[in-house]
Structure 1
Amino acid sequence: MKYAIQWLRCLVFNAQMYIAMLVVGVLYMPAAIISRNGAIAACHAYCRWIGWTASWMIGLKCEIRGEPPTDEVMVAAKHQSFLDVLMIYGAIPRGKFIMKSILKYAPIIGQFGLRIGCIPVNRGKRGVAVKQMLADVKAGRALPGQLIIYPQGTRIPPGEKRPYKIGTGALYRELGQPVVPVATNVGVFWPKRGVYRKPGTAVFEFLPRIAPGLDVNEFMKRLETDIESASDRLNKEAGFERP
């Protein structure tokens, strides 16, 4: 019975999440058209709304640890659910994602994503996309802010290992910016698929920066070690044990 009640609460929460996206998108659309700041304000408002409603509708609280960056950096994050997208973005002032190209056609998400400076990437053409993104940055066409990238390229459930893609290393080398790794245990509570979300506290931890100038292979090894070890620690804190 307890599971059924929580499942129903999650169903209602999920429904209102999409309704809220539509409402926020419509309300902020004029401001977003006028200014990028309007689009950023809309996205931050939506992130706050989802964090607030998750806390009382399904009992899932969100905790930010570490120091979210405010300067020009890359943010390389563990990706486990849609919630980590929202909470990481909501914690920094001018985030922009490297996102799947198909998302630019999605209603509201696509329009606001492009407006805040997200960079669409074609899967299967990632090398070409990285080169184009670097060209845009160097030509001054890319908007300033914190560039958020998911080094594994997709959502990875807790306890599952997937390789880190070299595109993150190429960006690190060419942009010459510090990289802020982010670990999380949100996947323990919010799985990749399905309606059910567990109550608890999802943690998003901004880890110490990796300074520019390392060899790419050394950087990739350190990035993976930092994110995976911290995420494993947070998973264990949340009661998850690797199978």
Structure 2
Amino acid sequence: MKFAIQWLRSAVFTMQMYLMMLLMGILFAPWAAVSRKGARMACKSYARWVLWTATWMVGIRSEVRGEVPQGEVIVAAKHQSFLDILIIFNALPSARFIMKRELMWTPVIGVYAKRLGCVPVNRGKRGAAITKMVRDVAAENREPGQLVIYPQGTRVAPGAQKPYKIGTAVLYEGLNQPCVPVATNVGVFWPRTGIYRKPGLAVVEFLEPIQPGVERADFMTRLEHEVERRSDALMAAAGFEGPHELSQQH
């Protein structure tokens, strides 16, 4: 019975979350059309709405740990579900994301992603696309901010293994900026697929920056070690016992 009630609450939460995405997208559209500030305010407002409703509708509280970067940096984050996107975007002052090209054509998300300066990447040609993006950033004098990339290229369920892609190192070398690793445990409470949401404390933690100049192989080793080690610790503290735990929630 308890599981059924929580599942029902999760379903209602999910429905209102997508409905509010549409309503806010329409409400902020005139401002967003003429101002990147308007687009950013729309996305911040939406992120805060979802984080707030998650606390009382499904019992998921969120917390940001570590020093949140303020200047021009690369943010290389563990990606487990839509929740970590919302927490990271809400925490950073001026974030834009590297994202799948297909998402740029979706209603609301695609429109606002373009206005924020998010960078579409062709997953089939990821290395070449990121190399081109580095050249574009250097040439276009983009608005300063934090460039968020997911080194594993997709959402990864807690306990699952997926390699770290070289694209993050290409960015790191090409932009010559610090890279801030980010760990999380959000997938324990908000899975990458499915409706069920588990109550608890979802954490996103900004780790010690990796300063420019580290050799590529060493950079990739350090990035993966720090993100995985800290994410494992956060998940263990949240009571995660293994992949079977999430399978029981579907």
TM range (shorter): over 0.9
- What amino acid is the match of 2:230? A
- What amino acid is the match of 1:62? S
User: Size of the alignment, in residue pairs?
Assistant: 243
- Where does residue 241 of structure 1 map in the other structure? 241
- Where does residue 17 of structure 1 map in the other structure? 17
Instruction: Work out the percentage of aligned pairs sharing the same amino acid.
Output: 59
* Cα distance in 1, alignment partners of residues 145 and 29 from structure 2: 21
* Cα distance in 1, alignment partners of residues 242 and 15 from structure 2: 31
* Cα distance in 1, alignment partners of residues 224 and 172 from structure 2: 14
Q: For residue 143 of structure 1, report the CA deviation from its aligned partner.
A: 3.2
* Cα distance in 2, alignment partners of residues 120 and 44 from structure 1: 20
Give the secondary-structure state (helix, strand or coil) at the position aligned to 2:123.
Answer: coil
- Where does residue 131 of structure 2 map in the other structure? 131
Q: For residue 138 of structure 1, report the CA deviation from its aligned partner.
A: 1.1
Q: For residue 141 of structure 1, report the CA deviation from its aligned partner.
A: 4.8
Give the secondary-structure state (helix, strand or coil) at the position aligned to 1:125.
Answer: helix
Give the secondary-structure state (helix, strand or coil) at the position aligned to 1:139.
Answer: helix
- Where does residue 191 of structure 2 map in the other structure? 191
Give the secondary-structure state (helix, strand or coil) at the position aligned to 1:90.
Answer: helix
- What amino acid is the match of 1:27? L
* Cα distance in 2, alignment partners of residues 15 and 140 from structure 1: 39
Q: For residue 142 of structure 1, report the CA deviation from its aligned partner.
A: 3.3
- Where does residue 80 of structure 1 map in the other structure? 80
Q: For residue 205 of structure 1, report the CA deviation from its aligned partner.
A: 0.4
- What amino acid is the match of 1:158? P
- Where does residue 56 of structure 1 map in the other structure? 56
> Superposed, which structure 2 residues align to 1:46-195 within 5 Å?
46-195=46-195
- Where does residue 43 of structure 1 map in the other structure? 43
Listed as ranges, the gaps of 5+ residues in structure 2 are 244-250
Listed as ranges, the gaps of 5+ residues in structure 1 are none
Give the secondary-structure state (helix, strand or coil) at the position aligned to 1:234.
Answer: helix
- What amino acid is the match of 1:56? W
Superposed CA deviations along residues 125-144 of structure 1, whole A, max 9, x for unmatched, are 11221122011111025332
Give the secondary-structure state (helix, strand or coil) at the position aligned to 1:97.
Answer: strand
Cα root mean square deviation, aligned: 0.9
Q: For residue 189 of structure 1, report the CA deviation from its aligned partner.
A: 0.7
